[in-house]
Amino acid sequence: MRYLILSLDGGGARLLLQWTLLKRILGQYPDFLKEVTVFAGTSAGAILASALASGLENEADEIITYENMRKVFERRATYKISSLGGLVKSKYPNRNLRRLLETHLKDATLDQVPRALFIPAFAVNSNHLPPVHGAGKKESYPPGDAVSEEEKQESEQKKLAAQFEHIGAAGASASLQRRCERWHPVFYHNLIDTDDRGVKVVEAVMKSTAAPTYFPLDGNCVDGGVVHNNPSLAMLTHLLALGAAPEEIYILSLGTGEMPRELHVCDDASLGLLKWVTCILDMIMDGNQEAISQSVHQILGNRFHRVEPLLSKDIALDDVSEHAEMMRVANEYDLTETFEWIEWINQ
C-alpha cells in the first residue's frame, strides 16, 4: 500500500506563497489531492491542511487571501497601546483568526473530517486542554458522513485504519502521561480511533497557530512550529509507529520560502537577551524545519520531495505587505522536478 503525505510548513502570512505553489501543482495535476492519504500541517500550514482535508479546496481561495491575512495580523490602536507594542501581551489578538476559521470550518470535529488530518502543537504545561473524551466518536473510518459509503470503502483512510486497528488509544496516552509534568508536543489527528478525534478542528488549528509573541496561547498550547514547523518527521514517525513500512511512504513537503537569515557576529561573540530575543523564534523555526527535512530525506531518500523557494529578502511571519513578492516568487519558482517526482510516484 502507498501512503502519500502532503506536508505543509508554518510561515504566517507566507501561507499565501505556499497556497500559490500548491495551486500551480494542482493546475498540472488536478487529481493530485485525491491521491493524498494524509494532510499534515503546522501553524499556518494547518489552516490549509484542514481546509483540504475537509474537502474545502474550492474555498481555500476565499480563506487564503491578502485581505484575510491582513485582518489576521491586524490590531487596533488601543490594543497596541495596552500591549505596549507587544512587550507585555501578544503582538496581535487572535479573534480575527478564530472568526476566519469558524466561518469555513464551522464546528466540525476531527472525526467529522472526511480525509486524514494531522496537526502538531506544543503544550507549555500539563494543564493544556485535554481531548473531549468520547465526543463524536465513530466506529467506521474515514471519519464523518461527508462521503458516500462506496467512497468510504475505496478511501485510503479506511484501509489505513483497517491495517492499524490493533493500535489502541491507551498506548499513545500513556506516553503523554509520562511527560505531563513538563511542556511537550501534542498531535491532533484522526488517523486512528482515539479520544482526540472529538476535538474541534478550529481548536486544533488555533493551538497550532499560536506563535509565541505574535498570538495568545490557546488552551495552554503554542505554535507547533517551535518543534515541528515542518510536520514531515512527526507524520512519518506516526505512520511508522502504526506499522507502515518506510518504502510505502511518500511525502511532498511544501515550505513557505527560505530566507537569507544569519547572525553577523564575530566567532566568539557573547550575546545577551536583547540580541537573542529579536531572532530566537525565527532561528528555532527555521532550524527545526531544515533539520527535519534532512532527517526525513535520510530515511525516505527520493520518496521525500521538498519544495522551498528561495526568497530574496527576509519576510516576517506577519509581513503581509510583501504579498506581491510572495506571489512573484511562487509563480516564478521552477516546479519541473516536482512534476517529475509526481510522475515518478504514479508509475
Alpha carbon distance, N-terminus to C-terminus of the chain: 14
pTM of the predicted protein model? 0.84
Q: Where are the domains of the chain?
A: 3-345
Q: What is the pLDDT of residue 264?
A: 66
In whole numbers, what is the pLDDT of the chain averaged over residues? 84
- Supply the DSSP string of 6-48, one letter for each residue: EEE---GGGHHHHHHHHHHHHHH-TTHHHH-SEEEE-THHHHH
Q: What is the pLDDT of residue 266?
A: 66
Output the nine-digit C-alpha cell for 155.
Answer: 478511501
**How many other CB atoms are there within 10 angstroms of residue 149's CB atom?**
9
CB 185 within 8 Å of CB 224? yes
Of 322, 300, 171, which Cα lies nearest the Cα of 240? 300
Question: Would the pLDDT of 199 be above 90?
Answer: yes
Question: Would the pLDDT of 224 be above 50?
Answer: yes
If you count them, how many residues does the chain have? Answer: 347
Q: What is the pLDDT of residue 190?
A: 93
Question: Would the pLDDT of 303 be above 90?
Answer: yes
Of 240, 254, 241, 258, which Cα lies nearest the Cα of 299? 240
For 92-104, write each residue's pLDDT tens digit: 999 999 999 999 9
Output the nine-digit C-alpha cell for 44.
Answer: 499556518
Residue 80 to residues 67, 89, 319, Cα–Cα distance (Å): 20, 9, 16
Please tell me which residue, 191 or 162, carries the higher pLDDT value: 191
Mean pLDDT of 250-275: 80
Distance CA 241, CA 187 (A): 14
Residue 37 to residues 14, 32, 156, 203, 327, Cα–Cα distance (Å): 25, 11, 6, 22, 28
For 29-54, write each residue's pLDDT tens digit: 999 999 999 999 999 999 999 999 99
CATH fold for the domain made of 3-345: Cytosolic phospholipase A2 catalytic domain (3.40.1090)
Question: Would the pLDDT of 106 be above 90?
Answer: yes
Question: Would the pLDDT of 346 be above 50?
Answer: yes
Q: What is the pLDDT of residue 169?
A: 39
Output the nine-digit C-alpha cell for 16.
Answer: 499565501
Q: Under DSSP, is residue 126 helix (H, G, I), strand (E, B) or coil?
A: coil
**How many other CB atoms are there within 10 angstroms of residue 107's CB atom?**
9
**How many other CB atoms are there within 10 angstroms of residue 78's CB atom?**
8
- What residues are paired with 249 via a beta bridge? 3
Q: What is the pLDDT of residue 196?
A: 78
Pairing type for strands 38-41 and 304-307 reads: unpaired
